[in-house]
Amino acid sequence: MPEMAEVPEKSDSTEALVCLFPGCESPAVPPPNKTDNPKRQGPPPRFCEREDHNAASAHLERQRLEKEASGG
């Protein structure tokens, strides 16, 4: 019988994530406590607590920075 590949264990690391908004160094908001909602799934939040730091505004900021860098 062939040996099965070793599967790495999932870790609930407490490694702090940094906000994905360009230029922001604030920590991302912590994920909700799984004991409050054990069925919660999905990735942890990736933006800080500022309401204007979200996926849409980060995309627009990256586009603005690229345009600025290209001389536009």
Q: What digits encode the pLDDT tens for the residues 23-45? A: 999 999 988 777 777 777 788 89
Q: Return the pLDDT at 37.
A: 74
Strand partners, 27: 18
Q: Return the pLDDT at 64.
A: 97
- CA-nearest of 69, 65, 68 to 21 is 65
Domain ranges of the chain: 26-32+42-72
For residue 8, pLDDT over 50 is answered with: no
Percent of the chain with pLDDT over 70: 79
For residue 27, give the 3-state DSSP assignment. Answer: strand
pTM above 0.85, yes or no: no
